[in-house]
Chain A
Amino acid sequence: MSNSVISVISRFLEEYTTKTSNKLKVVDAYLFYILLTGALQFLYCLLVGTFPFNSFLAGFISCVGAFILGVCLRIQINPDNKGDFLTISQERAFADFLLAHTVLHLVVINFIG
């Protein structure tokens, strides 16, 4: 059982490192960073408590929102998905990413207190 899991994981990692383009890996690194930040915030909340609750929510939602927008960007600039996004060029995807982030930051800063 564990054998198959390990083999699946190692196969996945091998395919990932060879098949994915550099551009996507850059975005993936960014996504990983966001994920870690969010997880650490959640860990703090579990351990120490939710004292400035609004600040915790602001930070956590910022991570979650950024992650989602990053995932959207990744989907839209992946050349394999070009067929699904005929009207959206890579530049357009990036511009949408920036605009959505502006709105997200506005909301987060408003809530951070």
Chain B
Amino acid sequence: MCNGCVFCLVLLTVALGAQALTPSHHLSLSDVDRLKGLLSQPFTDLASAYYSIVGLSKLGASVDACQFLKAQLDPMSVDSLFFAAEASQAIADCEMPVFNETRDILLAAVSEDSTVTQIFRAVSALSSLGLPLASQEVVAALVARIAKEDNVLAITTALQTATRLSQQAELGGILEEIEDLAARLDDLGGVYLQFEEGLEATALFVTAAYTLSDHADTEPPLKEDQVIQLVNSVFSKKSWDSRSEAFSVACAAAALSSNRFHVPVIVSTQGPATVSHSQPILHLLVTDILSNPLASANLLVESAQAVASKSVVLSQAPFSLRNGIFELNFMASQPASGYYQFTVAVTGDSRLVANQVELKVKVSTEVAVTNMDLSVVDKDQSIGTKTSRVDYPFKAKGSFTADSHQNFAMNFQLVDANTGVELTPHQTFVRFHNQKTGQEVVFVAEPDSKNLYKFELDTAERKSEFDSMSGTYVLHLIVGDATLENPILWNVADVVLKFLDEEAPAAIQSKTLYMPKPDIQHLFREPEKKPPTVVSNTFTALVLSPFLLLLILWFKLGANISNFSLSPSSVLFHVGHACMLGLMYVYWTHLNMFQTLKYLAIIGSLTFLAGNRMLAQKAVKRYGQSSTLTFFTRSTCEN
């Protein structure tokens, strides 16, 4: 490969932006083993045999099942012939018997009336069995079928069929289908690209597209980002539901690792990406998506930039290859401890896709505490300070006493044990622990501008944190950071603190914070006070008593029902009216307004009709009476 065009390619990739997509999923060695395991499960029919045998051959394993294929073959069925022929191609020295009728059956299946799957199986069987076929006829049938069956799987199968035809045939129309199909892929968050029909359809499309592109020697119309997104979609699932799904993934993996145009490359670290003085070498693996190491690859660090200070530590440094692993001695550039952003580029093959990768590398180191000085300082500075130096990991000989007039002070430095550079780790704590009461108070020690750590305890000011409990406190220094290999927990000294206004039960307070609180009893709403039953009963009787009075009055007035005519309408009216009053009572006890209105409408209309008739009859009778009376009066008057 010419280094010049490779360099141009690298520059172009850099120019297009360092944010190029890299694969987030691939098949690790254990994934490949799991895939092989699923495909190696025992098979009982030809279709399963086909998936297993061909799938395993794509992954580099082989199965000898020639006898099984010959036994299960049904020479009258196109599907059976297809499975057996394809599987036998994957096994060495396995030939399927060819009968006279075989060719006729297979050729008959190649027509516009068969489905694309039928055409594909017939064409594949013909080519695997070494029988002649007319490529142009197949192309015509395929084009006709694609127009009728416009779904993803059909077109993918058509692409696969075209890979079995002669290179002289006119495959241009079918090649264009790759681009149309690629347009149908769904973009999920810019990371995944897949068909809504699922993983199997996407994997089969990838296989078909690359196999056909290799066959027709035309670069597939897929952009680099699209290829990476397809890789993410196909290899994100690590346990497969069925043999056919595993087969499609195996075929896609084989197609993507060994085609002539696009080979996605995976750069990964062996173990955690950490270097230190004890382990100065950074190990990287460069593989294809099946985790096979790439034979002709070169790895180069384009830049290594410190995350904290943004200074570039290394630039354009090559990795050396040893036993298939790329190595670089990063500590030779003497980096300070911290995180570094590496941009590495893989060169050596123009087919490589996603060959610029960003990695985060951690440089860790060991810390040492130096110049630890403990002192008790008087607040008014009248009495001289008493400073003791303590060396790590020893404890100070005497204990330090500080009462409310004095401050306890601690000064120290944290340096890199290997280079002597001053460090400022994330965690520098000073912990006081009272052995008797179990109290623990933690303070943070902060560095000043010269990276010198200072801690001062003002006894009077801080007495609330200690709950004013005087006594002996054990002092610990805690130092920790992600980039430190040796975090420190150092018992430095014992400090006796004396507080004024000692309050006794201080230690118990923190404990009651986490005990269950007293139960709250729910108070239900109290019902309203009702008057005693006697009173309400009395008044009920009282309120009903005027009815008796009414009956008496009516009797006295001589009201009677002697004029009651037993005509059907008046009977019906009175019955209906009684029903309506009864409905009112039922409404009060059982029904709701809607039901009542419904019944009322029925009863009411009957009552109305009956009542109307009854009252009309009464009116007639009344007018008849009064007119007869007038007649008699007139007649007597005339007389």
Any B CB within 8 A of the CB of A29: yes
**A36 and B528 contact, Cβ closer than 8 Å, known pairs A89-B619, A91-B618:** no
Q: Nearest Cβ in chain B — how far from A11, in angstroms?
A: 21
Collect the chain B residues with CB atoms within 8 Å of residue A106's CB.
584, 587, 596, 600
Q: Nearest Cβ in chain B — how far from A73, in angstroms?
A: 13
Query: Can you sample 27 A-B contacts with CB below 8 Å?
Result: A22-B558, A22-B559, A26-B554, A29-B553, A29-B554, A37-B543, A37-B547, A40-B543, A40-B546, A48-B535, A48-B536, A48-B539, A51-B528, A51-B529, A89-B619, A90-B619, A91-B618, A92-B615, A94-B615, A95-B611, A95-B612, A95-B615, A102-B600, A102-B604, A105-B584, A106-B584, A112-B588
**A91 and B584 contact, Cβ closer than 8 Å, known pairs A22-B559, A48-B539, A102-B600:** no
Collect the chain A residues with CB atoms within 8 Å of residue B15's CB.
none
- The docked-state distance in angstroms from the alpha carbon of A37 to that of B616 is 33
Q: Is the CB of A33 within 8 A of B531?
A: no
Collect the chain B residues with CB atoms within 8 Å of residue A89's CB.
619
Could you list which residues of chain B lie within 8 angstroms of chain A, going by C-beta atoms? Answer: 528-531, 535-536, 539, 542-543, 546-547, 549-550, 553-554, 557-559, 577, 580-581, 584, 587-588, 593, 596, 600, 604, 611-612, 615-616, 618-619, 622
Q: How large is the interface on A (under 10, 10 to 19, 20 to 34, 35 or more residues)?
A: 20 to 34
**A26 and B559 contact, Cβ closer than 8 Å, known pairs A33-B546, A51-B531, A102-B604:** yes
Q: Is the CB of B584 within 8 A of A25?
A: no
- The docked-state distance in angstroms from the alpha carbon of A110 to that of B539 is 22
Q: Nearest Cβ in chain A — how far from B223, in angstroms?
A: 74
Q: Is the CB of B550 within 8 A of A29?
A: yes
Q: Is the CB of B588 within 8 A of A33?
A: no
Collect the chain A residues with CB atoms within 8 Å of residue B547's CB.
33, 37
- The docked-state distance in angstroms from the alpha carbon of A90 to that of B619 is 8
Collect the chain B residues with CB atoms within 8 Å of residue A36's CB.
546, 549
Q: Is the CB of B542 within 8 A of A29?
A: no
Q: Is the CB of A49 within 8 A of B539?
A: no
Collect the chain B residues with CB atoms within 8 Å of residue A37's CB.
543, 546-547
Q: Is the CB of A110 within 8 A of B615?
A: no
Q: Nearest Cβ in chain A — how far from B540, in angstroms?
A: 9
Interface residue from B553, B559, B580, B596 paired with A32 (Cβ < 8 Å): B553
Collect the chain B residues with CB atoms within 8 Å of residue A85's CB.
none
**Identity of the chain A residue whose Cβ is nearest the Cβ of B586 in the assembled complex:** A109
Collect the chain A residues with CB atoms within 8 Å of residue B577's CB.
98
Collect the chain B residues with CB atoms within 8 Å of residue A90's CB.
619, 622
Any B CB within 8 A of the CB of A30: yes
Collect the chain A residues with CB atoms within 8 Å of residue B529's CB.
51
**Identity of the chain A residue whose Cβ is nearest the Cβ of B616 in the assembled complex:** A91
Any B CB within 8 A of the CB of A41: yes
Any B CB within 8 A of the CB of A16: no
- The docked-state distance in angstroms from the alpha carbon of A90 to that of B612 is 12
4 interchain residue pairs of minimum CB distance: A91-B615, A33-B550, A36-B546, A29-B553
Interface residue from A32, A40, A105 paired with B542 (Cβ < 8 Å): A40
A92-B615, A106-B584 given; 15 more Cβ-contact pairs under 8 Å: A22-B558, A25-B557, A26-B557, A29-B557, A32-B550, A32-B553, A33-B547, A36-B546, A41-B543, A44-B542, A44-B543, A48-B535, A109-B584, A109-B588, A110-B593
- The docked-state distance in angstroms from the alpha carbon of A29 to that of B554 is 7
Collect the chain B residues with CB atoms within 8 Å of residue A109's CB.
584, 587-588
Q: Nearest Cβ in chain B — how far from A4, in angstroms?
A: 29
Collect the chain B residues with CB atoms within 8 Å of residue A22's CB.
557-559
- The docked-state distance in angstroms from the alpha carbon of A57 to that of B587 is 18
**A102 and B580 contact, Cβ closer than 8 Å, known pairs A22-B557, A48-B531:** yes
**Identity of the chain A residue whose Cβ is nearest the Cβ of B612 in the assembled complex:** A95
**Identity of the chain A residue whose Cβ is nearest the Cβ of B587 in the assembled complex:** A109
Q: Is the CB of B611 within 8 A of A98?
A: yes
- The docked-state distance in angstroms from the alpha carbon of A41 to that of B540 is 9
- The docked-state distance in angstroms from the alpha carbon of A30 to that of B584 is 21
Most chain B beta carbons < 10 A, residue from A26, A51, A92, A109: A109
Binary flags per residue of A22-59, CB closer than 8 Å to B gives 1, else 0:
10011001101100110011001000110100000001
- The docked-state distance in angstroms from the alpha carbon of A92 to that of B618 is 11
Most chain A beta carbons < 10 A, residue from B528, B557, B558, B616: B557
**Identity of the chain B residue whose Cβ is nearest the Cβ of A35 in the assembled complex:** B546
Collect the chain A residues with CB atoms within 8 Å of residue B596's CB.
106
Q: Is the CB of B539 within 8 A of A44?
A: yes
- The docked-state distance in angstroms from the alpha carbon of A26 to that of B559 is 7
Collect the chain A residues with CB atoms within 8 Å of residue B542's CB.
40, 44
- The docked-state distance in angstroms from the alpha carbon of A73 to that of B562 is 22
Binary flags per residue of A80-101, CB closer than 8 Å to B gives 1, else 0:
0000000001111011001000
- The docked-state distance in angstroms from the alpha carbon of A22 to that of B539 is 32
**Identity of the chain A residue whose Cβ is nearest the Cβ of B615 in the assembled complex:** A91
